Structure formats: C-alpha cells, structure tokens
Structure 1
Amino acid sequence: MVIHYWKCFRNAAFILYHIEKRYVLILAAALLISVPIMPLELLLVKTIIDRIQAWSASAPISPILWASGWLGLLMFVNSVALGAPIPLAMTRLNEVGTLEEQRLIMRKTSRLPLATIESAKVKDMRERALRVSVYEIYHTGAELLQLSMQLLVLIIVIIRLGQWLPVIAVIASVLLLVYISGKSAGSIERMTREQSSDRRLLRHYSELMTNRIAAKEVRLFDLGSLLSDRWTVLMGQTSKHTLSAVRSAEGRKVAPELLMALLTGLLLALVVLMPGQKLLSAGHFAFLFLALTTLLSQLPSLIRQGVAMRTHYMKWEDFQAYLNLDEVQPNRSNREASAAFEEKVAEGKQPGGLQLQVSNLHFGYPGNNRDAIRGVSFVIPPNSRVALVGENGSGKSTLVKLLLGLYSPTTGEIVWSRLKAGRIVPTSAEGNVSVVFQDFTRLLLTLRENVALGQISALMDDKRLHQSLQAAGSRFEDLSMQLGVPFEGIEPSGGEWQKIATARAILNDAEFVLFDEPTAALDPKAEKDAFELFLRASEGRSALLVTHRLGAAKMADIILVLKEGQLVEQGTHQQLMERDGLYSHMFQLQASWYVG
C-alpha cells in the first residue's frame, strides 16, 4: 500500500511541477530544510542547559550567548524564513492544481463517446473524479515525508541515548492506530462513493429550483415546495448515513487512542523514574525528555497525514478510472473502408460533395435489450438532398448521432467518401459536415462569437459573419451584442436563436449539411423561409434533412422512412405515395389538418 501512496504522490507532484515548477520546488525545499531544524534546536537547548549548569561567576558568558544566538537563528529560519514562502507556495499550487484537475476532466469528457457521457454510471464516475485534489495529495505526501524524516531522526537520537524500550512501545501503538484509523477512513470514503448518485440528484433539485430555464414551470405548477421537500428528505438521508458511518469509525478508534494517551503519560513518567537517569547531566536529561515529548506530540499529526493519504489515494483511483475511460475510436481503417466502398460504388458519379454509405447498422443503448437502430442500410450520393422522416421514437435522432460519430454502432459500417480523380477517397464527418440540431446550444456569448464558432478563423471577418447571418434570415447586425439575460444581454426568440445556429453552420462551408428538425421552433412563415434556406444551403452539396413536416420532404431526391429503428421505406415522394405504405399514410394524415 505504501508503494501505491508513493506513486499517487509522485504523479500529483509531476502534474504540479509541469505547470508551476517554481512553487513546487519552493514548498519541497522548505519542508525538507525544516527536517534537521527540530533536532538541532533540541541539541542547542541541551548545550545551553549544560553550559548554564557549569557556569560560574568567573567563567565567560559568551559560550551561552553564542548557543542562545544560534537557537534564536534557527527559530527565525523555521518561523519566518520558511514560514513566509510556504503559505504563498501552498496558495498558488492549490489554485493551479484545482484548474488542472478540472481541465483534465473537461478535456476527457469532450473526448468520450456521447453514449458513454449519457450513462448514469459514468456520470457517477465523473462526480467521484471531481472530488480529487492534486494539491492536497502533493501537500499531504510532502508533509508525511517531512514528519517521517523528523520522527526518524528523533527515534535514532532516543535509541542512541539507550531508550529503545519506549521506541518499541511507541511504534507498536502507532501501527495499531494507523491500521484502525485507515480502515475507518476507508469505510467513510467508500460510503461517500456510494452517495455519488444522491449528490447528483441533490444538485439537480437545487438547479431546478434556481435556474432560469425551469423557473416558469416551477412557479406555474407550484413545484418549489415539492422540490424543496424532496431535497430536504434526500439530504437528511444522506446526512444520516454519513453521521452513522463517522460515529462507527470514531468508535473503533477510541480504544487505540486511549491506549496511546496512557502510553504517552507512562513513557514520560518512565523517563523521570528509570534507574540511571540521575547519572545524566541536566542538558542530557532535558534533551531526552524534549525529544520523547516531541516524538509523542508529533505522532498524531503523522497518523492524521497517513490516514488523509489513504483517502486521497482512493479519490485518485476514482480520478484515474475516469481519465482511463475509452475514448472515441474509428470503427475501421480508411484503407479498409475505401476498399469495401470502391467495390460497391458504380462508375460515373457526379464530382464534388460527400457520399455517405450506411451498411447494416445496429445500435443499442446500454441497459436496453432491444436495439434502437436495427439493420439500417442506405446511400446518400454526392449532391443529393435526402429527407429522413418517421414518427416520434422511430430512431431519427439516434441515427443522426451515429452518422456524425457521436455514437459508435454496435455493428455495421458508416463510410464517408468523396470522388477525387476518378477514385473513391475515404474521409470522415469531422470538419466536412455542418449541422443545425433541433436542440442546438444557446451560447451566452457575443453574436460575433456565436456565429464565428462555426469557423473560428473568421472571427474578425465581419463581412463573412454578416453574410452568414443574412443567409440564415437573421435580423441581427450588431456583432458585438451580448446574448443571454444571465450576462445582461438580450434574449433572442427561439426562432432567432435557430437562425443564429444556422448562420454558424453556413459559415462552416462544409461539403455536407445536416438539418435536424430545423422548423421545430418556427412559425409557418419562418418555417417556409427555413426550408428555402435549406435549399440554398444545400446547393452543390450533399444534404440530409431530418423533419416531421412531410410537406418539406417532397423537395428531397430520396426520402428515408424509419419505424421502430428500422428503415421500412425509401424512394422519392411520388414513389412512396404510389406504394401506399407508412409514408403515404403519414403524409395524408398531416395533409388532413390543412384540408377541410
């Protein structure tokens, strides 16, 4: 276990050293320099006492003054010279350590598959990982090393003075107390791990009661009391379990701590009463007494730091477990994809644009016995407009996330390719696809930043940004305008937010455009404008329109119809209407709402 603690301390020190070399070295040096100061101070006390005992009126007093001066110098170094830089270093390392922990977790989260992020188990893992403190691991480990070296020096001194029996008794009692305290700390930390889901739920209740998005429903349906009561009950249960675990842990430590206290008093008494002590000089006796007293007084700190290191190590394990989660990986090599694709694609395709081929795609969410996508296969040729339709729950959103690489399929292939010099060249969706999601992100930034994030190189290109906004039909022109009430900006309507998101996608001049339910938040006129925008944005590109408005699907070259995760129909609007299947039934049902 000591090896594990050492590796944990070393890794934390490496992380901090990589960011802030200066303060890591300052803290380490200050702690190490302080190790010999304490025994030197005791030695000077012994020297001063012996010299005072031997001093007479005729003898010079300068040796006593010199020894006292050196003692004062050591005390100054320990309290002032070392005392000033240590708090500064600790504050700085705490700041950079906290930022680095959060950066590593955020970066890891951004690289995880979407299905992994959505897992409740992984959410609990992230909750536990956020409890780590790289600084605390380093600081606790450094103090543990410092105390261990100091006490080792004191033990050697006490043994050299012939007092080996007290040392054996102290070491035995310390090992017992460390073992019991470590077990108690471990049980408390395991209980805290088990409460990860409850803590997430408590935070969710708190956010519902305080954030702006939920405020309307909370007030309209008078949910404040219900949520507050649930928060109170869950917090009470959590606190009760925590109190019970702490009470049990502290109860186990009562006997060893009582033994330690009795042993301390007994050993100090033995130092005074043991035979032969009268043969020691006053300085030697004071030196031995102070050394043993210091040893016994420092042992509780050593035990606390050892127990704290065990807890930090368990948190570090959670931190590492999260950072070691599998990241997004391509399903197959480009070379394999290219060979398989070239065998299946006919000659004479139109140049330009991306081509997408999906073959026998399956995907299931963790914990669900039935796949959400089952055996889906289709091709979107270059420069083709395709509409994806289906009832709610048919799997449209899941399929879109698979196409974009946000989910990894259970089985099957998703191959993005383009024609180049008469050959099919494999590529990927990343950097080649512009997307406007139905649940697009409302970035509380300036209008300039909202649009420019589609292609960050255009951040200061006002002409391109204005062109993208105009093409998306946005009425906004002031690029420096702050968006979002929480930061004292304006709050665009749902439709205007969607236009901003569309402008972001247009700015990224990709070869494939994907609109996921682009008219969900729009009125009829804005809906018509959005479909016209889709037509303009998809000129000379491949495009996929996910929609429940089947009137818009009529403009597509190919219509894909999903039902319960399966592709049940595909073809043109006319072909599907003549087939009189699911698409025809859905289209006629929607048309009946507009035709009396």
Structure 2
Amino acid sequence: MKHIKEPLQTGRLLGKMVWKSGPWLLISIIFFILIEAITPLLQLYASKQMIDGIVEQDAFTHTEIWAVVYACSLVMIGAVKSLEKWVKALLAEKSMMTVNCLLIDAFERIPGMRFFEDPKYRDRLETLRDRSTWLPTQFINISSNLLTAVVSLAGVVLVIAYLSPVLAVILILSTAPFAFVHNHYNEMEWEYNKEYAPVRRKAAYTRHILLSRRSAKEVRLFGLGDFFINLYQSNFKNLYSVLKKIQIRSSRWSVLTGFLSGAGTGLGYFWILSQSGSNHFSVGDISLYLGAVFQLSTALRDIAKEGADTMDIWRMGRDFFLFMNAKIDISLPSKGKRIASKGAMAVEFKDVSFRYPFQEMSAGHQVYDTELEDEDFDLYDDLEDEDLREHHHSESDGRCTEYVLNRVSFSISPGEKVAIVGANGSGKTTLMKLLCRFYEYHEGEIKVNGINIRDMDLHGLRSRMSVVFQEFGKYELSLRNNIGLGDVEALNDEEKLHRAAQAAQLEYVINDLPEGMDTMIGPEWGGTDFSGGQWQRIALARSFVKDAGLVILDEPAASLDIRAEYEIFRQFHSFTEGKTVIMISHRFSTVKMADRILVLKNGKIIEEGSHEELMKQDGEYNKMFRLQAQSFQGKDEVHC
C-alpha cells in the first residue's frame, strides 16, 4: 500500500507545482501531446491509402487526397513540436520559480536550526537545492514524453490487435524485461546518489575551497593546491568506481533485454510478411501493419525508458514531499502568548539542561520528523559552533552526548547589562541559542517577562530581540540594507539608520564611500570591500537599529582593534539605555562594562557578580582576567 501511496503523493505534489506555475501553458502542452500521439496513426493510415491507390490505377484522385493529408500531417507535427518546445521552456522556467519559492517557504516554516546543522538533513538540503534548478524541466519533458508514448501506444496496439491479438501481446511482453531492467538500474543509481551524498558534498566542498575568494590567499601562501586537488580526486574516484560498477551491470542486462525486444519485433515482421499472400490483405494493409509493428516497438521502448526516468523523477520528488511536509523542529503553542511591545525585558533560566542531539524531550515534546525516524542523526559534523564542537564525542553504544548545560539557573532584571564569560565549550553560545528558540531544551524553564518561552508566540518573542552572532551576516547589498535589515521597517528612516551607524562608529566610513549609505559593499557585485572590523561595526549597527527590549551580543568586539572597541563601548550604556543586554565575550575590557558577570564552566554557573566583586573572590574569573592581562602587558605578574 505504501508503494502506491508514496508515488501518488509525490505525483500530486509535482503536478500541483506545474499547474500552479502556468495552468494554460500546461493545458497547451496536453493538447500538443494528443496531436503528436494521434498524428503517427493518421500517417500510417494515409500511407496505406496511398499505396492501395497506386496499386489500383483507377483511384488516382483518391491517392492525391491522402497524399495531401500526409503532407499536412508533416507540416502540423513540425509546427506543434516547435510550439511545444517554446511552451515547455516557459512552463519550466515558471515552475523553477515555483519550486524554489515552495522550498524557501518550507525553510521558513521550520523555526529552528535542524536543517542547517544536522549532516543528514544538510545532504538532503544540498540535493534539493541543486535539483530545484532542473527538476521542473525534467519532470515536464519526461512526463510529457511518457504521456505521448502511452497515447500513441494505445492506438497502435488497437491496430495490431485487430490483425492479431496474440501478436500484440507477444510484442508487449518482449519489451517488458527491458522496462524492468531500466527501472531497476535507475533505482540503483538513485540509491547510490543518496548513499554517497556526503562524499559528493565533500568533493564539492574541496572544489569550493580551490575556487573560493575567501580561501584563495591561504591556498596560495601555504601551497595547498595539490593537497586539495588530491582530496577532490580521491573523493571523485570513490564516487566514480561505484557508479562504474552499476553502469557495467546495467549495460549487460540492457543488451540482453534489448536483444529480446528486437527479436519480438523481428517476429512480428516475419509473421506479417507471411500473410502477404492472403486475399484478406492488400499491399497497403501490409505496409500499415509493418509500420504499426515498428511504431509499437518504438513506443514500448520509449515507455520503458521514459517510464523508468519518470519513476526516477518521482523518487527525487519524494524528497521534496518529505521536506514540504516535515514536522517543525521545536514545539509551538496553538495560540502563543504575546509580550509587551515596548520596554526592557526580564530573562530567567531555571534549572535548564540541554545536550546535543536532543532526541528525547521532556513534557512530551517531539522534535524530529517521524518520516525519517529510521535514520541515525549526527548533529556535529562540519559544525563551527564552539559549544557543539567541544562537547561532542562519539560513543559506540549510540547514546546522546553529555550535557552542554547542566541545571543552569540565573535571572536578569529589565534594563540590566549582564556579561557571560567562560572557556570555549562552556555553553555560552548555547544559552543564547536556547533563548532565541533555535533548539528545545530538555529540562527546566526559560522565561521572558515571567512567561515560559514555550508558551509564547515565536515571532513576537524574536521581534523583541536584537542579536549579533559570532558568525554575523555579511550581505552583498548596499550599506543601507546591511544596517536596515536589523529592522526592515527602518530601511527608509534616515534618522534611525544614522543613529545606529553613529553608535557603531561608522560615520567616517560612510563619509569616504562614493555613494554614502547607498554604496554597494562586498566584492561579489563589484562593491566596496570592507575589513573584518568594519563588517563587525555594521553587524553592531544592525543590532542597534532595532527597537528591541533584549540585545544579545555574542563576541561583539572579536574583529575590532583596541581603539575601535574603546570608542564604541565608551557609549555602551547610552545606546543600550532602556534595553536588557546579554553580552558574551572573551575580552575583559568589554566585560567590565556589564552590571553583572556570570562565569560559566562545564555547563554550570560557578560565579556571579560585578567585576570588582569577582576579582575579590580570587576564583575562576580572577584567574582568567589575570591571564589575559598578562598577554597584553607581557608581564609575569599583574596587580589588579
């Protein structure tokens, strides 16, 4: 039942995509298909009539009429094929836009980070993203070819069955093995593409490194060209060796089944010619049936090939269907609670525990799509987040990783500026990701303004936050857009954009740009390229432009030099007035500006207080501060 249900679901989805893209274009293609399918039958019959007319000398006028019919059919089929090609191109282009829009909508519907950080999903995502450019074209072309062949076959089978039903059955059965083999090996290729998707992605990644502007300097400086070329070739040879085995086996069976199909056609020719002496057959009849056998053989092979290719397309479409119907990765309330649209926000973590991956959820919360529950998930390959990287370890028994956060509790009052410090992997960034609702936590509660975030309207929560991530966005757009994207409603608010740029110390940069705020930045489209520190200022300005009640700054000064950091954070309290601020930083010159500091170690808060209070405790914070001071001052002992 599942084998019938899944293709129907996929076919319905693909059909809806094409219909939504251009209903009249699709109707036109169906009309053209019917003409193309019927025309060969008309030509066969016209040929029969012309030959019989030539043999019977007294029917010359009759012969001329059928000659004109045959000639008109040639003109018509030529015109129809040209029109069909043009209409297909238009429909394919519109379908590509439809597919990409559906894909993007599906991404937007998944509120967490599941599809971006789980390698299994990332493989599927890369495949879907690649297919979105050519799948609609393939689906339209292959499906229309299949439909043409099926309609044509139906007519030809009726013609041959009128002569001999047994012959029609023999011809159909002789081609069946060819169709089976073609479909079987298409399925093997599809499974190969799925199974080796990680290897293909690694090959694409090494190619990207060799061709990327970002990595070009190190590749040349360290002489890494040969290393990455060898890595690319190694991955590619691995892929090629498996594909070669499949193709060799496929070609052997294709030859054998092709021989069987050809033998069936030859048998049909022989049987019809053996009837040439019969009084029941005219010369035109013999010509008609010989042509019908040839067309039947051609149509059957076309159906075998196009049918297998259509199944291949539907297998690809199955991934679209699963993706479009994937369950969301965090639980959302049916009617979320809203928080105040103005004012600083209060934050509370109460006994919060979390680990990667989170397959077991408290309070009945379910994360992963049950459609894919048989897959083994690994959330950590190729990830850059330090908390994820530090806390992940492989275990042969398949158990989940250790807790990144272990019963963490703290509260932040409205308008308070709090810094979080700790070694790499202590869980700092994970705290912020949970607060932004990118993941579900296992135990405890996270509250904003006294409301559990699991009960809140997600859009309403995120609209009241402004965040600068470690890996902030660098958009190859104008400077205005790069700043204004923090609050799209402010894109044309010159005063608001100016204040944000001023707070991030971007005024001197803007004054030097040829078109000011409207200057394109980034090298992708020939814009002005910026340094890492300038990009960081833009990210800060983006967070300042939003009228948020909670500002989260994750390593906000990582790319800034000491002077730039001092100039920006000298105004720290003024441009964050009326806002709650959570700041993660390794720079203690920045951390000192906070009202309170939380020290995180091994997923637990071990110290908290102001800079002065923590220095007096002579604990972990004091130790980290002194180590950093030594690195700046170059002294063995630093007195604070």
How many angstroms does 1:515 deviate by?
A: 1.2
1:146 aligns to 2:148 (yes or no): yes
1:235 aligns to 2:267 (yes or no): no
In the other structure, the counterpart of 1:13 is 15
Aligned with residue 38 of structure 1, among 37, 40, 43: 40
How many angstroms does 1:308 deviate by?
A: 0.5
How many angstroms does 1:473 deviate by?
A: 0.7
Bigger shift: residues 240-249 or 368-377: 368-377
Q: Note if contact 1:518-1:530 (Cα within 8 Å) is conserved in structure 2.
A: no
**Structure 1 pair 216/533, CA: closer, same or farther in 2 (3 Å)?**
farther
In the other structure, the counterpart of 2:368 is none
Q: Which amino acid aligns with 1:21?
A: P
In the other structure, the counterpart of 2:354 is 363
Equivalent-residue separation in structure 1 for 2:165 and 2:449 (angstroms) = 79
Bigger shift: residues 123-132 or 516-525: 123-132
1:101 aligns to 2:133 (yes or no): no
Q: Note if contact 2:114-2:121 (Cα within 8 Å) is conserved in structure 1.
A: no
Q: Note if contact 1:432-1:510 (Cα within 8 Å) is conserved in structure 2.
A: yes
Equivalence map 1:350-389=2 (5 Å)? 352-366=343-357, 367=378, 368=392, 369-389=401-421
In the other structure, the counterpart of 1:343 is none
Q: Note if contact 2:265-2:293 (Cα within 8 Å) is conserved in structure 1.
A: no
**Structure 1 pair 567/276, CA: closer, same or farther in 2 (3 Å)?**
farther
Q: Note if contact 1:358-1:413 (Cα within 8 Å) is conserved in structure 2.
A: yes
How many angstroms does 1:579 deviate by?
A: 3.4
Q: Deviations over 1:135-173 (max 9, x none)?
A: 322332232122112111111111122x12211111212
**Structure 1 pair 441/198, CA: closer, same or farther in 2 (3 Å)?**
same
Equivalent-residue separation in structure 1 for 2:334 and 2:15 (angstroms) = 38
Q: Deviations over 1:349-372 (max 9, x none)?
A: xx9311112222222223542121
Equivalent-residue separation in structure 1 for 2:74 and 2:337 (angstroms) = 72
Bigger shift: residues 107-116 or 459-468: 107-116
Q: Deviations over 1:473-508 (max 9, x none)?
A: 112320121111232222222221111111111111
In the other structure, the counterpart of 1:549 is 587
Equivalent-residue separation in structure 2 for 1:466 and 1:560 (angstroms) = 33
Equivalent-residue separation in structure 1 for 2:174 and 2:286 (angstroms) = 24
Equivalence map 1:512-527=2 (5 Å)? 512-527=550-565
In the other structure, the counterpart of 1:476 is 509
Q: Give TM-score scaled by structure 1 length.
A: 0.90
How many angstroms does 1:265 deviate by?
A: 1.4
In the other structure, the counterpart of 1:79 is 78
Equivalent-residue separation in structure 2 for 1:219 and 1:278 (angstroms) = 84
Q: Note if contact 2:333-2:457 (Cα within 8 Å) is conserved in structure 1.
A: no
Q: Deviations over 1:265-318 (max 9, x none)?
A: 121011101486343112222222211121112222111101101211221122
Equivalence map 1:43-62=2 (5 Å)? 43-56=45-58, 61-62=60-61
Equivalent-residue separation in structure 2 for 1:288 and 1:359 (angstroms) = 84
In the other structure, the counterpart of 1:92 is 90
In the other structure, the counterpart of 2:373 is none
How many angstroms does 1:389 deviate by?
A: 0.9
In the other structure, the counterpart of 1:345 is none
**Structure 1 pair 243/190, CA: closer, same or farther in 2 (3 Å)?**
same
Bigger shift: residues 404-413 or 15-24: 404-413
Q: Note if contact 2:206-2:228 (Cα within 8 Å) is conserved in structure 1.
A: yes
In the other structure, the counterpart of 1:497 is 535
Equivalent-residue separation in structure 2 for 1:448 and 1:10 (angstroms) = 43
In the other structure, the counterpart of 2:64 is 65
In the other structure, the counterpart of 1:537 is 575
Q: Note if contact 2:519-2:527 (Cα within 8 Å) is conserved in structure 1.
A: yes
In the other structure, the counterpart of 2:383 is none
Q: Note if contact 2:553-2:584 (Cα within 8 Å) is conserved in structure 1.
A: yes
**Structure 1 pair 444/591, CA: closer, same or farther in 2 (3 Å)?**
same
**Structure 1 pair 184/330, CA: closer, same or farther in 2 (3 Å)?**
closer
**Structure 1 pair 94/352, CA: closer, same or farther in 2 (3 Å)?**
closer
SS across alignment from 2:518: coil
Q: Deviations over 1:161-207 (max 9, x none)?
A: 2x122111112122222122211211121112112111111111011
Equivalent-residue separation in structure 1 for 2:308 and 2:220 (angstroms) = 47
Q: Note if contact 2:139-2:310 (Cα within 8 Å) is conserved in structure 1.
A: yes
How many angstroms does 1:2 deviate by?
A: 6.8
In the other structure, the counterpart of 1:319 is 320
In the other structure, the counterpart of 1:453 is 485
Q: Which amino acid aligns with 1:365?
A: Y
Indicate the RMSD between aligned Cα atoms, in angstroms. 2.5
Q: Note if contact 1:435-1:505 (Cα within 8 Å) is conserved in structure 2.
A: yes
Moved over 6 A (4+): 333-338, 424-427
**Structure 1 pair 3/493, CA: closer, same or farther in 2 (3 Å)?**
closer
In the other structure, the counterpart of 2:127 is 128
Q: Note if contact 1:130-1:319 (Cα within 8 Å) is conserved in structure 2.
A: no
Q: Note if contact 2:337-2:457 (Cα within 8 Å) is conserved in structure 1.
A: no
Q: Note if contact 1:353-1:383 (Cα within 8 Å) is conserved in structure 2.
A: yes
Q: Deviations over 1:71-122 (max 9, x none)?
A: 2222222121x12211111212222233333333344334442244111111
Bigger shift: residues 173-182 or 380-389: 173-182
Equivalent-residue separation in structure 1 for 2:626 and 2:11 (angstroms) = 68
Equivalent-residue separation in structure 1 for 2:285 and 2:595 (angstroms) = 99
Equivalence map 1:163-312=2 (5 Å)? 163-274=164-275, 277-312=278-313
SS across alignment from 1:515: strand
In the other structure, the counterpart of 1:117 is 116
Equivalent-residue separation in structure 2 for 1:354 and 1:333 (angstroms) = 23
Q: Note if contact 1:154-1:291 (Cα within 8 Å) is conserved in structure 2.
A: yes
Q: Note if contact 1:111-1:328 (Cα within 8 Å) is conserved in structure 2.
A: no
In the other structure, the counterpart of 1:342 is none
SS across alignment from 2:408: strand
Equivalent-residue separation in structure 1 for 2:153 and 2:4 (angstroms) = 18
Q: Which amino acid aligns with 2:143?
A: G
1:510 aligns to 2:548 (yes or no): yes
In the other structure, the counterpart of 2:396 is none
Equivalent-residue separation in structure 1 for 2:150 and 2:102 (angstroms) = 32
How many angstroms does 1:564 deviate by?
A: 1.4
**Structure 1 pair 275/65, CA: closer, same or farther in 2 (3 Å)?**
closer
Equivalent-residue separation in structure 2 for 1:295 and 1:356 (angstroms) = 74
Q: Note if contact 2:352-2:408 (Cα within 8 Å) is conserved in structure 1.
A: yes
In the other structure, the counterpart of 1:412 is 444
Bigger shift: residues 98-107 or 245-254: 98-107
Bigger shift: residues 449-458 or 553-562: 553-562
Bigger shift: residues 285-294 or 100-109: 100-109
How many angstroms does 1:238 deviate by?
A: 1.3
Percent identical among aligned pairs is 27
**Structure 1 pair 37/219, CA: closer, same or farther in 2 (3 Å)?**
same
SS across alignment from 2:509: coil
Q: Note if contact 2:353-2:406 (Cα within 8 Å) is conserved in structure 1.
A: yes
**Structure 1 pair 495/7, CA: closer, same or farther in 2 (3 Å)?**
closer
Equivalent-residue separation in structure 2 for 1:275 and 1:89 (angstroms) = 45
How many angstroms does 1:234 deviate by?
A: 1.7
Q: Which amino acid aligns with 2:103?
A: I
SS across alignment from 2:439: coil
Aligned with residue 579 of structure 1, among 599, 613, 617: 617
Equivalent-residue separation in structure 1 for 2:299 and 2:215 (angstroms) = 53
Q: Which amino acid aligns with 1:435?
A: V
Equivalent-residue separation in structure 2 for 1:6 and 1:279 (angstroms) = 46
Q: Which amino acid aligns with 1:95?
A: E
How many angstroms does 1:432 deviate by?
A: 0.5
**Structure 1 pair 228/501, CA: closer, same or farther in 2 (3 Å)?**
same
In the other structure, the counterpart of 1:397 is 429
Bigger shift: residues 386-395 or 525-534: 525-534
**Structure 1 pair 330/294, CA: closer, same or farther in 2 (3 Å)?**
closer
Equivalent-residue separation in structure 2 for 1:66 and 1:425 (angstroms) = 78
